[in-house]
Amino acid sequence: MTAGRLDVDRDQMGRDLVTLVLTVVELLRQLMESQALRRVEQGDLTDEQVDEIGTTLMLLEQRMTELCDQHGVRPEDLNLDLGPLGTLLPRS
């Protein structure tokens, strides 16, 4: 490394970026799922809407699994450790 330059492992940087993006998508997926469950429990949705949301969430979870497999990311890699705050995602 020369002064003023930083050696960067582009492959590792790419993997880290993919992991970060998948982490954000997983967080949003879990938030949407929680919101949908709240609405179902409150009775705000028709039976058709409940079925549609269930199918959509199931397909999204399946796609997330496929993306993780495709990029060599384990689901536990998506759960960032925030130090004293705990983990970003709830433990399954």
Q: What is the pLDDT of residue 9?
A: 79
Task: Give residue 46's region: left, alpha or beta (phi > 0; psi -120 to 50).
Answer: beta
Q: What is the pTM of this model?
A: 0.74
The answer to whether the beta carbons of residues 78 and 89 sit under 8 Å apart is: yes
- Structure tokens that stand for 5 in this block: 């330059």
* Rounded Cα–Cα distance for residues 61 and 58 (Å): 5
Residue 77 per-residue DSSP state = G
CA dihedral 16, 22, 23, 27 (to 10 degrees): 170
Domain range summary for the chain, segments of one domain joined by +: 18-71
pLDDT (tens digit per residue) in 9-59: 777 788 889 999 999 998 898 899 999 999 999 998 899 999 999 999 999
